[in-house]
Chains A and B, each alone.
Chain A
Amino acid sequence: MPPELLPRPRLGPPPPPRAPRPERWTLSNGLRVLAAPRAGLPQVVLRLVIPAGSSADPAEFPGTASLVGSLLTEGTRSRQADAFSTQIDRLGACIGAHVGHDLAAVEMVLLADTLAPGLELLADAMVYPAFRAGETERVRAETLDGILARADEPANVADDRAAEEIFGPVHPYGQPVWGSAEAVTAVSAEVLRQFHQVHYRPEGSFLVASGEFDPGELARILKREFAGWHGTASRPAVPVPDSLPRAAGRRVSLAWGDATQAEIRVAGVGLARKSPDWIPAAVANYILGGSTITSRLGANLREEKGWTYGIHSSFADGFQPAGWGVETSVDIEVADDALDEIHRELLRVTQELVRPEELRRAKDALILSLPRAFETPGGVASRLATLEVHALPQDYWERLPARIEAVSADDVQQIAAEHFAPERLVSVVVGHTGEGA
């Protein structure tokens, strides 16, 4: 006998998200601390955020911030590079800097029983990096090779070109954080030291700790290990970018050998993370391209046409309006059709109000997925860092569901008109020689 159809389950009320409220304090040197302890997983994630992104690069040496980030963990005044990495590795820890346009973040992941020795190494790297010649030259050479290797991948070429088209050759958001080969070759160790001296300061920076630890113990260790760190880091003034790319409405095509796929980006200027429009924009983006299967772009180009494995759109977050864009790669034969279809979807969301059920679905997806955002120590650390970086209110995550709920179809259309209209966007196609309009 075949199995019978069971009725689709009727679900009870959803669980409320449990967004942790961290303990907050400030060290006497001005370093802010956010601590979100939670037992269970024997892991601690530490994230130290410093206003030392590429927007603080000296004008003649783009790539300085990135090199400094890489060199933090390459030896300190009291430890040769080899001794430093051996100690990290023996703890079973890992540490690395991620340098973005606005900020640098040093992240360390520790086993829970190594908090004190781990923090001692983190503080040493932050406060006393040595920038010795041997390590500096090696990291410089690796960075130069990395710049060459990056250009081997059409997806990277498309991303970098789109950023340059949106923000132009001067604004930091238009430039890669790793800088140019010329500047990386030329920048001296003294410039790197100077950059560290000016920007890696406790006041203006903050540390997030998430995972299995005792906040009292954390406070004691931080006080001890960061005692020798002083001074104020000023946040680099990132200029407001032009709201329209110079090549808005145009298409840039880049040939690529015998490419089998075309990498497509359709991109323009988005929103600052602290903008009050950020939440309606998240809803609008979800409807258009936030989910590769169910959003309009994915439902059309992947699920209906089968032209691509994936297509997404997203807003990048920044102090200033960063990019918004659609990205996909498609079979080279359909590159023109795919670009037309993307433009058709962009026009549609700009010109017609979204249907109520579509809006409902986007809100439910965004609100009800919040519990998953706080599942891991790393996830908690990321979300707390976002609040602190952009000076968002402490009850941000608790109030978020109501704010999403308040978004209307008119709000979505307004966001679409401001950010998704094809005449405001540049299309970049890598792997295709077709003439663009």
Chain B
Amino acid sequence: MIATLLTSQTRTLRNGMRVVVHEDRTSPVVAVHLMYHVGSRHERPGRTGLAHLLEHLLFEGTEHAPKGTFDDLLERVGGSNNGSTWLDRTCYHETVPTHAVELALWLERDRMAFFLPALNETILNTQRSVVINERLEAYENRPYGLADERLHQMLFPPEHPYSWPTIGYTRDLEAITLADTRSFYQRYYVPSNAVLVLAGDLAADPAFALAERFFGDLPSARPPAQASTADPGFPAERRDSMSDEVSFPRVYRAYAVPAYGTPEWVALDVLAYVLADGESSRLQRALVREGRLAQDVDSYLYPTERAAVFGIVATARSGVSPEMLEAALDAVLVEVLEKGVDSAELAGAVRRAQRDQIAELATVESRAEELAYATLVLGSAGALAEMLELYTAVTPEGVRRVLGEYLVAKRSVTLIVVPAERQRAQHAA
């Protein structure tokens, strides 16, 4: 059902850059997606946040498209553009009306080949300030905003690169130098470390010709080594609590589990739907609807490369202690482990997963991103459709097996966020 939405062709340019083309003529729109195999995982302690800060710098102008030009040119042609950085990858993307695809490629070429001459201390300092504000806005000044950061510190040993947040620590952001950004860029922003996806209203042959024209002459460089990461090991049932300016306690439970794309990961994803997606799911029913202990409960599974994170988050209702909530959560896991799931329940969970996959593939922009990520992390664009096919093969026994193997105490960390005594907003003037 979904595989047909993802048909693509891949070629590799002489410099090692992989190019994926996905044709869909439904709307007169093309997505250009350039994903580099570099993320916060490639940073070192003391320089956390470097990958993401560099992404910001790459929006501040290149030699032939000076500061302000990038967004200006793209908006004038009706395009949108953005970038994002995560643990394993950094991406830059433009979605444009069909006539403007060459402009997007020209700009990305400048970003890959002509960035360093435009980089200077002023740009670095301004964007350092923007990123520190992003950290304040998205994490520090938001209820429960620092919980995920703490959870990763607990889940991974300090030398493991998933132990620090992509946004970086403020002290590290303050320490990053121009030389740090230059060398990071030179090492990772090379054609052989990138995947270009063209998706939408264009045919394969002209698309490959465009890729060759705009990127084929860029010098090749050896792809950076993807350092092996330490096994996350077993966090051995670590627990912690932190206080925050919130009204209700929240329980965070997380487990280190097999990486994105593995059959175990797919079964765990289905388990996440069984547990907490939909009003009839196990945790919704036990914690929210019948138990009336939680206001909300969610489960998630990160699609990360070296290990994945399976998380469960529940917010207590008034008068409910986090201990009660955690005990109820554990009771559900035990029940599923002991009694399993029935086949109708499983089929519903798979269909809900497919519903979300289809929704995520609704735009050529998100399809391009998924294909680029599969190429980098799973080895080919086609591996994405193959992985999505695995969902239909998941069995009740398979779900129970991954629950019993991975969602176990010795792999778990638990973080309780408790309300701090605080001063409420007051009208002052």
Which A residues are closer than 8 A to B by beta carbons?
1-6, 8-9, 11-18, 38, 40-43, 73, 81-82, 85-86, 88-94, 109, 111, 138, 141-142, 144-146, 148-149, 151-155, 157, 251-257, 259-261, 291, 293-294, 299, 302-310, 329-331, 361, 364-365, 367-372, 374-378, 430-431, 433-436
Asked whether A111 and B355 contact (CB < 8 A) given A12-B99, A367-B78, the answer is yes
Given contacts A92-B352, A378-B362, is CB(A371)–CB(B78) below 8 Å? yes
Give the CA-CA distance A38 to B348 in the complex, in Å. Answer: 25
Given contacts A89-B352, A149-B315, 19 further A-B contacts (CB under 8 A): A3-B219, A4-B217, A6-B106, A11-B103, A18-B27, A41-B362, A92-B354, A94-B355, A109-B359, A152-B245, A254-B427, A255-B426, A294-B72, A303-B67, A306-B129, A307-B133, A309-B134, A369-B79, A377-B362
14 A-B pairs (CB sep. < 8 Å): A14-B78, A42-B1, A43-B355, A94-B355, A148-B247, A155-B142, A253-B427, A254-B426, A255-B428, A257-B422, A294-B71, A306-B130, A371-B97, A374-B27
Docked Cα-Cα span, A273 to B302, in Å, equals 40
A331: which B residues are within 8 A, CB to CB?
A: 129, 132-133, 136
Given known A85-B279, A361-B75, contact A92–B355 (CB-CB < 8 A)? yes
Shortest distance between the CB of A176 and any CB in chain B (Å): 15
Q: Which residues, 345 to 361 on B, are CB-close (under 8 Å) to A?
A: 345, 347-348, 350-352, 354-355, 358-359, 361
Bound form: Cα–Cα A255–B422 in Å:
12
Inter-chain contact B130/A308, CB cutoff 8 Å: yes
Given A41-B358, A309-B133, A365-B78, A11 and B100 touching (CB < 8 A)?
A: yes
Residues of chain B from 68 to 109 with CB closer than 8 A to chain A in the complex: 68, 71-72, 75-80, 95, 97-100, 102-103, 105-106, 109
Complex contact B358–A43 (CB within 8 A) = yes
B295 contacts chain A at the CB level, 8 A cutoff: yes
User: A residues within 8 A CB of B109?
Assistant: 3, 6
- Docked-complex contact A260 and B98, CB < 8 angstroms: no
Q: Which of B80, B133, B213, B355 has the most CB of A within 10 A?
A: B133
Q: Is the CB of A370 within 8 A of B78?
A: yes
Among B77, B280, B348, point to the contact of A368 (Cβ < 8 A): B77
Bound Cα distance A369, B96 (Å): 8
Rounded to whole angstroms, the CA-CA distance of A49 and B136 in the bound complex is 38
Are A5 and B64 neighbours in the complex by a CB distance under 8 Å? yes
Interface bin, chain B: 35 or more
Given A86-B280, A149-B315, A306 contacting B27 (CB threshold 8 A): no
Residues of B within 8 A of A15 (CB): 28, 97-99, 201
Min CB gap A135→B, angstroms? 9
Question: Quick check: A149 and B246 within 8 Å, CB to CB?
Answer: yes
Q: Are B76 and A90 in contact (CB under 8 A)?
A: no
Q: Mark B406-429, 1 if CB is under 8 A from A, else 0.
A: 000000000000000011111111
Question: A430 contacts B425, CB within 8 Å?
Answer: yes
* Contacting residue for B26 out of A40, A109, A252, CB 8 A: A40
A178 to chain B, nearest CB (A): 14
Whether the pair B219, A361 counts as a contact (CB closer than 8 A) is no
Q: Assess whether B29 is in contact with A330, with CB atoms less than 8 Å apart.
A: no
Say yes or no: is B317 at the interface (Cβ < 8 Å to chain A).
yes
B264-286, CB under 8 A of A: which get 1 and which 0?
00000000000001111100010
Residues of A within 8 A of B359 (CB): 43, 109, 378
Q: Which A-chain residue is minimally distant from B70 (CB atoms)?
A: A293
B138 located at the interface, meaning its Cβ lies under 8 Å from any Cβ of chain A in the complex: yes
CA distance A76 to B137 in the complex (A): 42
* B102 contact from A9, A257, A364, A436, Cβ within 8 A: A9
Which A residues are CB-close (under 8 A) to B217? 3-4
Q: Report chain A residues within 8 Å CB of B71.
A: 291, 293-294
- Residue in A9, A17, A375 whose beta carbon sits within 8 Å of that of B363 in the complex: A375
Chain B residues near A260: list those with CB within 8 A: 136, 140-141
Instruction: Say yes or no: B133 contacts A111, CB within 8 Å.
Output: no
Q: Is there an interface contact between A14 and B292, defined as CB atoms closer than 8 Å? A: no
Let me know if B246 and A152 touch, CB within 8 A: yes
Residue of B nearest to A376 (CB): B362
Q: How far is the CA of A111 from the CA of B355 in the complex (A)?
A: 6
Is there contact, CB below 8 Å, between A13 and B358? no
Q: Quick one: which of B40-73 are within 8 Å of A by CB?
A: 59, 64, 67-68, 71-72
CB pair A94–B278 under 8 Å, yes or no, is: yes
Centre residue among A89, A302, A329, A367 by max chain B CB count within 10 A: A89
Question: Do the beta carbons of A145 and B317 come within 8 Å of each other?
Answer: yes
Write the chain A residue with the least CB distance to B105: A9
Q: How far is the CA of A433 from the CA of B425 in the complex (A)?
A: 10
Contacts of B362 in A (CB 8 A): 41, 43, 375-378
Asked, given contacts A18-B27, A148-B247, A260-B141, whether A369 binds B78 with beta carbons under 8 Å apart, the answer is yes
Evaluate contact between B318 and A3: CB separation under 8 angstroms. no
User: Do A149 and B219 have beta carbons less than 8 Å apart?
Assistant: no
In the complex, what's the smallest C-beta–C-beta distance from B261 to chain A, in angstroms? 22
User: Closest chain A residue to B353 by CB distance?
Assistant: A92
Please determine whether B26 and A3 come into contact, CB atoms closer than 8 angstroms: no
Which 6 residue pairs of A and B lie closest in terms of their CB atoms, listed nearest first? A368-B78, A92-B351, A15-B28, A85-B279, A306-B129, A9-B102
**Bound complex: CA A142 to CA B245 (Å):** 20
Please give the distance in Å from A162's CB to the nearest CB on chain B: 13
| Interface membership of B153, Cβ < 8 A | no
B425 touches A330 (CB 8 A): no
Q: Which residue of A lies closest to B427 (CB)?
A: A254
Give residues 215-267 of B contacting A (CB, 8 Å). 217-219, 245-248
Complexed CA–CA distance, A8 and B71 (Å) = 15
Residues 341-383 of chain B, each 1 if its beta carbon lies under 8 Å from chain A, else 0: 0001101101110110011011110000000000000000000
How far apart are the CA atoms of A92 and B79 in the complex, in Å?
A: 34
Complex contacts, B295 vs chain A, CB 8 Å:
142, 145-146, 149
| B5 interface contact, C-beta 8 A | yes
Contacts of B137 in A (CB 8 A): 261, 308-310, 329
Which residues does chain B contribute within 8 Å of A154, judged by CB atoms? 141, 425
Q: Specify which chain B residues have a CB less than 8 angstroms from the CB of A369 in the assembled complex.
A: 75, 78-80, 97
CB pair B141–A259 under 8 Å, yes or no, is yes
Instruction: State which of B27, B351, B426 has its C-beta within 8 Å of the C-beta of A90.
Output: B351
With a cutoff of 8 Å between Cβ atoms, the chain A residues found around residue B102 in the complex are 9, 11
- Tell me whether B187 is interfacial, beta carbon within 8 Å: no
| Inter-subunit contact B429/A251 (CB<8 Å) | yes
Residue of A89, A109, A308 near B278 (CB, 8 A) is A89
Nearest Cβ on chain B to A332's Cβ, whole angstroms: 9
A372 and B78 contact, Cβ closer than 8 Å, known pairs A109-B359, A303-B68: yes
User: Is the Cβ of B279 less than 8 Å from the Cβ of A88?
Assistant: yes
Q: Give B10 Cβ to nearest chain A Cβ, in Å.
A: 22
Chain A residues, Cβ within 8 Å of B279: 73, 81, 85, 88-89
Is A3 touching B218 in the complex (CB atoms < 8 A)?
A: yes
Residue from A155, A370, A376, A377 with most neighbouring chain B CB atoms (10 Å): A376
- CA A257 to CA B423, docked complex, whole Å: 5
Closest to A145 in B: B295
Chain B residue nearest to A13 (CB atoms) is B99
Contacts of A73 in B (CB 8 A): 279
- Closest residue of chain A to B59 (Cβ to Cβ) is A293
Residues of A within 8 A of B351 (CB): 90-92, 111
Interface residues of B in 294-344 (CB under 8 A from A): 295, 315, 317-318, 344
Closest to B64 in A: A5
Cα of A41 to Cα of B315 in the assembled complex, Å:
35
CA distance A43 to B2 in the complex (A): 11
In the complex, what residue of chain B is closest to A331 when comparing beta carbons? B133
